[in-house]
Homo-oligomer: A and B are copies of this chain.
Amino acid sequence: MTRAGIVGATGYAGAELVRILAGHPDIELSVLTSRQFAGVRFDKVYPSMTGSVDLVCEDFSADLVCDRADIIFLALPHKLPMAVAPQLLKKNKRVIDLSADFRFNDASIYESAYQPHSARDLLKDTVYGLSEIYSDAIRTANLIGNPGCYPTSVLLPLIPLIKEGYLDLKSIIADSKSGVSGAGRSLSITSHFCEVNESFKAYKAAEHRHNPEMDMVLSREAGQAVAVTFVPHLVPMTRGMLTTIYATLAAPWKLQDIGDCYSHTYAGKPFVRLCPDGRMPDTLHVRGTNYCDIGFKIDERSNRLIVLSAIDNLVKGAAGQAVQNMNIMLGLDETAGLLSIPFPI
């Protein structure tokens, strides 16, 4: 059994990691840290876990975590992982970071969106953990920058089309809608029940930090600069993310062409589900799962492709993909611990 540790276990992404790893057949969940809840049983913070998880949260120290775990997940706000990861890597631990700190190979992009980077030397070797696309690099990586939830929902549907030249690269728009858990467990008026319930709104239109992240990956895949127009919105529900992508087709491609492109790219990729003709992805269908559902349609009058993707922002958009990456790194079945049967509603 590989021992896994979670640094920052009591945020929503951390807690979702606890859920998945506690049920993982090949993993021993061995250490949880939490600054806010050090000394407190994890199941006191998340009482649903009573009877499932009996660990006590501990204060982080690199020694503690390295002693107790073979592979380490960082579920911390950005800026903290860049201080923590180097200590863990030095002790030959493998690290999967769920923040933005190690998603960019180019420090300048990170720094323009976030703040100065204190571990720039690690960036050249970090691997962007979009599991379906970069599994080869993930397999041998020691440090994974786990993708953001929005980029995951945008990149999985776009990369196959972009690589094969189906799209006018200047035309890409991503209109995303996220459940409130994406904002985390930290208190904020924007997650206060009465301000979110019965409310729908956009935020950070064309200035969200996940925009440079998706642009970076798409530009790499396209071999030229891609600048997506990206607008995220907040949906009054706990989990789920739907992204509606609009892009002009580079030629009058048909539904069949698009379908073929997805089918061959994602053949043998169990977590990408293509919706049969006519059905549209729905966040309810992926709630609590690691699936990314993809559907599409062509507006023939404008030769514009509409692609929809649905994920659970906490699973495929965070903890689930992180575990999928761990599975790949450890040579386990990619789906290990990630295939519990979905709820019907």
Q: Which residue of B lies closest to A304 (CB)?
A: B229
| Interface 0/1 of A50-84, CB less than 8 Å to B | 11110000000000000000000000000000000
B47 pairs with A194, CB closer than 8 A: no
Separation of A170 and B233 alpha carbons in the complex (Å)? 25
CB distance from A327 to the nearest CB of B (A): 17
Q: A286 at the A/B interface (Cβ < 8 Å)?
A: yes
Stretch of A95-103, A137-145, A174-182, A216-224 on the interface side = A174-182
Q: How many Å from the CB of A188 to the closest CB on chain B?
A: 7
A263 at the interface (CB under 8 A from B): no
Q: Which residues on the B side are within 8 Å of A181 (C-beta)?
A: 194, 345
> Which residues of chain B come closer than 8 Å to A302, judged between CB atoms?
170, 227, 229
Residue contact B199 to A193, C-beta cutoff 8 Å: no
Q: Are B198 and A344 in contact (CB-based, < 8 A)?
A: no
How many residues of chain A get a CB closer than 8 Å to chain B's CBs?
A: 87
**Cβ of B345 and Cβ of A195 under 8 Å apart?**
yes
Q: How far is the CB of A37 from chain B (nearest CB, A)?
A: 12
Q: Residue-by-residue, is A157-193 near B (CB-CB < 8 Å gives 1, otherwise 0)?
A: 0000000000000100101010111000101110111
Interface residues of A in 201-243 (CB under 8 A from B): 201-203, 205-206, 227, 229, 231, 233, 235-240, 242
List residues of chain A with CB under 8 Å of any chain B CB: 12, 15-16, 18-20, 22-23, 46-53, 170, 173, 175, 177, 179-181, 185, 187-189, 191-203, 205-206, 227, 229, 231, 233, 235-240, 242, 244, 246, 270, 273, 275, 279-289, 291, 293, 297-299, 301-302, 304, 306, 308, 310, 339-345
8 A-B Cβ contacts within 8 A? A46-B344, A48-B344, A49-B344, A201-B284, A201-B310, A206-B299, A227-B302, A236-B237
